[in-house]
């Protein structure tokens, strides 16, 4: 490596599980559009504004903004 240079980072594509046309598919974030239904896991950062389809009864609650972390309520009474 030449002093003072940085290695080229690998090409990175982040995928998001989504529902489209009745199928669950894994799409690059850049192909998501308004109205897509995405599947989020605990601790996952969201890449755009989104809202839950149903109230989970706690956790992050309502709408999430870009960069927020999904944190569902894991305690059941």
- Tell me: the pLDDT tens digits for 20-30? 888 999 999 88
Question: What are residue 15's DSSP bridge partners?
Answer: 28
Mean pLDDT along residues 1-11: 60
By C-alpha distance, which of 37, 64, 61, 65 is closest to 73? 61
Q: How confident is the model at residue 73 (pLDDT cuts 50, 70, 90)?
A: confident
- What distance in Å separates the CA atoms of residue 44 and residue 50, rounded to the nearest whole number? 13
Q: pTM of the predicted model, to two decimals?
A: 0.64
Largest Cα–Cα separation, the chain: 60
Q: What is the torsion angle, in degrees rounded to the nearest 10, for the CA atoms of residue 17, residue 61, residue 51 and residue 46?
A: -50
Q: Which residues contact 1 (CB under 8 A, 6 or more apart)?
A: 7
Q: What is the mean pLDDT of the chain?
A: 79
């Amino acid at each position: 490596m030449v002093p003072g240079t940085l290695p080229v980072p690998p090409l990175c594509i982040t995928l998001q599980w989504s529902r489209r046309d009745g199928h669950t598919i894994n799409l690059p974030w850049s192909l998501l559009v308004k109205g897509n239904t995405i599947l989020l896991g605990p601790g996952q950062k969201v890449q755009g504004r989104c809202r839950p389809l149903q109230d989970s009864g706690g956790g992050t609650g309502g709408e999430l903004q870009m960069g927020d972390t999904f944190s569902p309520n894991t305690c059941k009474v």
